[in-house]
Amino acid sequence: MTVTVTRDQEELGVKQQAVSTKWKPGQSGNPLGRPQGSRSKFSEAACADALADWTTHGKDTLARVRQDDPSTYLRVLFSIIPKDIAVSIEQRTGPLDSQEMRSMRRLVDLIHAAGATGLEPEMVFAWIEDDLRARLAKNIPDAGQVAETVG
């Protein structure tokens, strides 16, 4: 290993050793180490085992912990809830673009402002649909009117 000392470092009595890398880029320092993907295989297997156990014993275990140790029960429940729900909602990807999301937000705000918060959402949307159909309906002439305009 080569030792390089600058004048300033020499004055301070500091020696700096030049670092030479033993491995070329892309070459592993431990070729017999953990195979690629083994960690994800372990995680997938652990999750599958946990799911199987939960499916079999989950409800009973939860009920027992809730009765025997409520603080642990609450700690577990709150640990699985996302820490910042608002960020998750804002960063979600989906079929709506940002303009469509703003339009939906405006629609929800209008529904709340109109005092329709206690109603079933499907009922409110049915009213909106009926109103739009009535406003945008085209007058279709009956057969008698068609004959008069053609002749």
Cα-flanking dihedrals φ and ψ of residue 26, to 5°? 85, -10
* CA–CA separation, 28 and 2 (whole Å): 24
- What single-letter DSSP state applies at residue 137? P
Q: Could you tell me if 108 and 143 lie in one domain? A: yes
Q: Could you tell me if 149 and 113 lie in one domain? A: yes
Residue 23 lies in a domain: no
Residue 55 lies in a domain: yes
Q: Could you tell me if 106 and 146 lie in one domain? A: yes
The H-or-E segment that residue 139 falls in is none
pLDDT tens for the 151 residues of the chain, in order: 455 556 655 555 555 444 556 777 777 777 777 676 667 788 888 888 888 988 999 889 889 988 999 888 888 888 887 766 555 555 556 667 778 878 888 888 888 788 777 777 788 888 888 888 888 888 777 766 555 555 5
Q: What is the pLDDT of residue 64?
A: 92
Residue 139 lies in a domain: yes
Q: By residue range, what is the domain housing residue 60?
A: 38-81
Q: Could you tell me if 45 and 67 lie in one domain? A: yes
Give pTM, 2 decimals: 0.30
Contact in structure between 20 and 1 (CB atoms under 8 Å): yes
Residue 24 lies in a domain: no
Q: What is the pLDDT of residue 21?
A: 65
Residue 57 lies in a domain: yes
Sequence-ordered strand ranges (E) for 16-149: 16-17
Residue 27 lies in a domain: no
N residues, the chain: 151
Q: Could you tell me if 101 and 150 lie in one domain? A: yes
Q: Could you tell me if 55 and 106 lie in one domain? A: no
Q: Could you tell me if 103 and 151 lie in one domain? A: yes
* CA–CA separation, 38 and 30 (whole Å): 15
* CA–CA separation, 127 and 121 (whole Å): 10
Q: In the chain, how many domains are there?
A: 2
